[in-house]
């Protein structure tokens, strides 16, 4: 029977205000310690295309699993608690959230869920010595910041763009591309990297368009794109915007092949939902049926939450798992000790083996290319770096 699990999703401003009246109670050494873990994402409306809810619930499941194991750190029993804050996917609210988490004394942060908000908060967490592990944002700029405390559970955008450029030529067999970015740090970086790789491979970008990352109106841009008669279109937007773009693409007529990034996949996956036949998407990770333990994870997730599951639930689950394992190995709830452990850990999670390079990007991240055939997303090729 489905349980409806309620979370305290606190807007960033209210969360900061609440801290003014919050005082941790002094506890005897023999009592159970509470270790706080921050989760920040753009929660907003709970729609089918908002992937932050799936990531949030994956993090909560990991916390619940850890608490059932009765973990002890430094000889004391520990209870972990997830502090969920809606940063509205806005850099200013994200900074407020970050400062609130620092004041609260969290042992680490899972998030933020976009590259823009992750980059905006990295220095705040770095100054406080708190690990920031993002299970969803992939922009290369995040791990190029030079901060020791940042970790990226997915392959960064330079790797992604290189694969996409190769896919465009080798698998789509297209020469003339329209490239549309959504103006975000990640979206622009992916589009730039894709364009460079495509041109290196002998392809041509016949038109480059940029839209606002909040827009759902693509009529003008798509009109200009259609006039150039491209063989294929690459769009770098994610989540609700990718869904809106795909609907606009279909209204204009399926005049070209369509290639999307992983964040553009629909939550009905592996069913295609409203996405048209022949659409390609490059997803982070290997196919779920090849992952040991995933079937049980999916079953338990669906039993506990009414949120539609996405791949980000699994990556968020592993991000929490890595943070808790790092605290255990350090035998300390000091967040700075967790940072040191995360840099040397080799962790096997639901998503597979994970380890980090010196800059915090993931070593050898896997990807899978999918194509819609007969209403289902079907794997075409696996990429391992």
pLDDT number for residue 308: 85
Residues 315 and 278 both lie in one domain: no
**Does residue 2 belong to any structural domain of this protein?**
no
Which tokens is 3 given? 């349980």
Return d(Cα 299, Cα 204) in angstroms, integer.
45
At 156 the pLDDT is 93
Q: How many domains does the chain have?
A: 2
Q: What domain range includes position 281?
A: 157-287+367-384
pLDDT at site 160: 94
Does residue 1 belong to any structural domain of this protein? no
Dihedral of CA atoms 191, 197, 199, 200 in degrees, nearest 10, equals 160
pLDDT at 184 (0 to 100):
86
In DSSP terms, 82 is beta-bridged to: 37
The CATH number of residue 257's host domain is: 3.40.50.2300
Tell me what pLDDT residue 238 has. Answer: 81
Q: Could you give the CA distance from residue 341 to residue 73 in angstroms, rounded to a whole number?
A: 14
User: Looking at residue 25, what is its pLDDT?
Assistant: 42
- Which parts of the chain register pLDDT below 50? 1-8, 17-18, 20-28, 48
Residue 3 in domain: no
> What is the pLDDT at residue 172?
95
Instruction: Determine the pLDDT at residue 50.
Output: 63
Q: Looking at the structure, do residues 377 and 244 belong to the same domain, yes or no?
A: yes
User: Do 171 and 369 contact (CB within 8 A), yes or no?
Assistant: yes
pLDDT score at 65: 98
Residue 87 inside a domain? The answer is yes
pLDDT at position 385 is 58
Among residues 252, 274, 272, 304, the alpha carbon closest in space to that of 371 is found at: 272
pLDDT of res. 6: 38
Pairwise CA distance, residues 125 & 112, whole Å: 11
Q: What are the structure tokens assigned to 266, written together?
A: 């629909």
pLDDT in the model for residue 292: 86
Q: Is the domain of 235 the same as that of 380?
A: yes
Shared-domain flag, residues 279 and 297: no
Measure the CA–CA gap between 233 and 248, rounded to whole angstroms: 13
């Amino acid at each position: 029977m489905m349980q409806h699990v309620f979370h305290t999703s606190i807007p960033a401003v209210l969360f900061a205000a609440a801290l003014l009246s919050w005082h941790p109670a002094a506890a005897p050494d023999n009592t159970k310690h509470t270790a706080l873990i921050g989760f920040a994402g753009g929660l907003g409306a709970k729609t089918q295309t908002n992937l932050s809810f799936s990531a949030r619930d994956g993090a909560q499941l990991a916390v619940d699993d850890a608490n059932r194991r009765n973990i002890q750190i430094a000889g004391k029993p520990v209870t972990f608690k997830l502090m969920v804050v809606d940063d509205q996917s806005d850099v200013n609210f994200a900074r407020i959230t970050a400062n609130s988490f620092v004041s609260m004394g969290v042992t680490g942060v899972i998030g933020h869920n976009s590259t823009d908000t992750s980059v905006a908060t990295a220095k705040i967490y770095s100054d406080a010595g708190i690990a920031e592990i993002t299970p969803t944002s992939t922009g290369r700029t995040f791990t190029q910041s030079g901060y020791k405390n940042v970790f990226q559970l997915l392959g960064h955008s330079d790797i992604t763009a290189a694969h996409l450029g190769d896919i465009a030529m080798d698998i789509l067999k297209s020469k003339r591309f329209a490239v549309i970015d959504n103006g975000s740090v990640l979206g622009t970086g992916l589009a730039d990297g894709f364009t460079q790789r495509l041109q290196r491979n002998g392809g041509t970008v016949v038109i480059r368009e940029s839209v606002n990352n909040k827009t759902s109106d693509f009529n003008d841009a798509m009109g200009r794109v259609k006039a150039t008669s491209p063989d294929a279109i690459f769009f770098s937007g994610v989540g609700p915007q990718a869904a809106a773009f795909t609907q606009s693409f279909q209204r204009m007529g399926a005049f070209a092949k369509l290639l999307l990034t992983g964040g553009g996949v629909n939550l009905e996956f592996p069913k295609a939902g409203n996405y048209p036949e022949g659409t390609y998407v490059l997803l982070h990770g290997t196919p779920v049926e090849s992952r040991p333990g995933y079937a049980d994870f999916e079953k338990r997730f669906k039993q506990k939450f009414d949120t539609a599951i996405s791949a980000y639930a699994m990556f968020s689950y592993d991000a929490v798992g890595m943070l808790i394992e790092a605290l255990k190995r350090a035998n300390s709830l000091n967040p700075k000790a967790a940072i040191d452990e995360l840099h040397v850990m080799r962790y096997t999670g639901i998503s597979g083996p994970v380890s980090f390079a010196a800059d915090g990007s993931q070593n050898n991240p896997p990807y899978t290319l999918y194509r819609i055939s007969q209403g289902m997303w079907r794997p075409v090729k696996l990429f391992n770096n």
